[in-house]
A and B are shown apart, each in its own frame.
Chain A
Amino acid sequence: MTDSPGIELQGLGVRFGGRPILQSLTARLSGRAIGLLGPNGAGKTTLINTLLGFHPPSEGTALMHGHDVVKGSAALRGTIGYMPESDSFIAGITAVRFVRMMGELSGLPKEAALERAHETLQYVGLGEARYRTLEGFSLGMKQMAKLAQAIVHAPKILFLDEPTNGLDPPARARMIRLVKEIRDSGQAQIVLSSHLLRDVEECCDEALVLKDGKIAFHGNLEEERRANKKFLQVETRGDERAFAAAAEAIGCTCALISPGRLKMVLPQQVAVLDLYKIAASQAIQIRRLDYKRDSLQDIFLKAMEEPRGRV
């Protein structure tokens, strides 16, 4: 599953009323869980809608497991699970009937659909509520019901659009745990669109950041974290500017984050002990010293700052 090309964007562009929403997106998404990030209006949902075949691309194309999303949509849709961002349910029916119906529409025979509907609702934690109608569900329960209908037929690609929207912390934790379990099962490739960097950081091994309909960053998150320089975050008491100047004199790169807080990158030949020596010579206290790496937030913010993004 993970060895297959997954999703390939080949110069994908989408226009609405002449306005470009997505522009020449080219990327190969092969991670087990791909985080789709970007500010409001960046084109995340449009990209998902295009991959789902809801509207044709105005330029280029996209392939999912080797099938063109437009020409091969009939074959693809049986292997796709989709959890929309907005409220989506069928009125007047119980959760189990809803999930069963969605399973049958995806191609499961009646008996299998019923069996899997029960299992899936148990799996997402709605076992006790499965005979209740969906209108009576809380927002968190509706989110779980949406997840259940998306996975009932065991899709190969699972699109989750803002899955933790409106969830309280325990419900969010449960949702993240489920997403991670599905990812680790190796049965489905997940595309998770979210505003919340923490969700993506926790669940995804690959990220695609969109900005104004273009790719601002695309990469393997783990590799990116490893490639980023390890830096020291130092909290001092005393004249931090003099301390920084002395550290720079022995080859360190320093940046003042806030009064008393420095971000430092040490060259190979400089050890932490050298910093203590400088501090001792200048009567400066080092109150705290931590090794840090760039977080997804740093990666995201960098991608947003750079005018042409970072691919």
Chain B
Amino acid sequence: MAVYDRRYRGYDGPITALNARWMVLPRFAWGQVFKARLFAVFFTICFVWPVVATLWIYLHHNLKALATMGLDASTLAPVDATFFATFMGVQCFVFGGLLALLVGPGLVSPDLANGALPLFLSRPITRTGYAVGKMATLAVLISLITWIPGLFLFFLQSWLEGWAWLAANARVGFAIVVGAGIWIVTISLLSMAASALARRKVIAQTYLLGGIIFGGIAGQVVNQMFDTKLGFAFALPELMHTVWEGLFQVPLSAQLTPLVAWLALAIICGLSIGILARKLKAFEVVK
């Protein structure tokens, strides 16, 4: 029907699959996020380090180019588990963290503040579908700058070095995917929980940043007061260091035992899910 034909009419065309509806949410959210030019610039900058790492690996296997630059292969840091752990550390904690801080707090809070949840939840999408859709917005963006380039570098190195290197270092590839996955799930849930708590993006950003910084300070205080290292369980970067040390099998000066780190991460994720379950409702009962 043409737009000038102002009649109400039914729809008898095709309908999309029910289990794919949640994907509409990230698609529209990405459209919103990339409308901000500053964010587009930041997202481009996120790929600078992967490009540098790609060149690094390339130079390792191109003696001619190294000679042209007056360098020797032995002067370059080796491409091993430490190289990948460092690469992933920068991509996840620095760029991934900033990306979570920019995007995460704005995922849920505007919908809560503007009463949009009944509009979503009266449609064929569950609360879980809504949360997964919103989380996917952030998770896919962080994936694009973390484990996807990480895996690309891993396979590039394997290709240039020989497939025997891949067989010998398969653990590194696994660590790239799993390590980034744990970080993505944790930071996505945390930022969404902050977003659901605050209802305003700026306040949610403060909650998220403050929570990470305050967690570290609180951990130090606990350590000093009780002469223990368990206080590090409050510091998210420390938890990730511990988990990654186990995954990459490289020394990252972790202060906690893996069990404590995993337990603390599970508690953080559980609490975040609890907050989301409590806040993401179509209506509120006024007591």
Instruction: Show the binding face of A for B, using Cβ within 8 Å.
Output: 16-17, 49, 52, 54-55, 74, 77-78, 80, 82, 84, 86-93, 97, 101-102, 104-109, 112, 116, 118-119, 122-123, 127, 149, 151, 153-154, 159, 178, 181-182, 185, 187
Contact = CB atoms under 8 A, between A and B. Distances in A.
6 closest A-B pairs (Cβ-Cβ)?
Answer: A154-B11, A82-B122, A107-B15, A91-B110, A187-B10, A77-B124
B9 A154 contact: yes
B11 A101 contact: no
Contacts of A16: 285
B226 interface: no
A122 B6 contact: yes
Contact of B123 (A106, A109, A127, A151): A106
Contact of A101 (B24, B115, B124): B24
Contacts, number: 122
A123 B24 contact: no
Contact of A107 (B8, B18, B111): B18
Contacts of B9: 154, 185, 187
Contacts of A77: 122-125
Given A17-B285, A101-B28, 15 more contacts: A54-B283, A74-B18, A77-B123, A77-B125, A84-B118, A88-B114, A91-B114, A93-B28, A93-B32, A107-B15, A107-B16, A107-B21, A108-B15, A109-B13, A154-B9
A119 B24 CA distance: 21
Contacts of B28: 93, 97, 101
A122 B5 CA distance: 9
Contacts of B18: 74, 78, 107
Which of B8, B21, B122: most chain A CB closer than 10 A?
A: B122
7 contacts: A54-B121, A55-B283, A78-B123, A78-B124, A97-B31, A106-B123, A187-B9
Nearest to A46: B283
Nearest to A86: B115
Contact of B125 (A54, A105, A159, A185): A105
Given A52-B122, A87-B114, A116-B11, A109 B3 contact: no
Contacts of A52: 118, 121-122, 282
B118 to A, nearest CB: 5
Contacts of A87: 114-115
B11 A82 contact: no
B16 A104 contact: yes
B287 interface: yes
Nearest to A97: B28
A88 B15 contact: no
B6 A123 contact: yes
Interface string B90-134: 000000000000000000001101111011111111000000000
Which among A108, A119, A149, A154 has the greatest number of chain B C-beta atoms within 10 A?
A119
B7 A90 contact: no
Contacts of B8: 123, 151, 178, 181-182, 185, 187
A75 B267 CA distance: 35
Nearest to A92: B32
A178 B28 CA distance: 29
Q: Which of A97, A101, A151, A185 has the most CB of B within 10 A?
A: A101
Contacts of B282: 49, 52, 54
A17 B287 contact: yes
Nearest to A16: B285
Contacts of A55: 283
Given A108-B11, A109-B14, A82 B114 contact: no
Given A89-B116, A106-B123, A122 B11 contact: no
A97 B30 CA distance: 13
B220 to A, nearest CB: 38
A119 B1 contact: yes
B118 A54 contact: yes
Contacts of A178: 8
A86 B283 CA distance: 11
Contacts of B10: 154, 185, 187
Contacts of A105: 21, 24-25, 120, 123-125
A195 B18 CA distance: 36
A101 B32 CA distance: 12
A92 B110 contact: yes
A159 B282 CA distance: 15
Contact of B115 (A78, A84, A106, A118): A84
A154 to B, nearest CB: 4
B3 A118 contact: yes
A53 to B, nearest CB: 8
A32 to B, nearest CB: 13
Contact of B124 (A92, A107, A119): A107
Contact of A123 (B7, B25, B125): B7
B256 to A, nearest CB: 40
Contacts of A154: 9-11
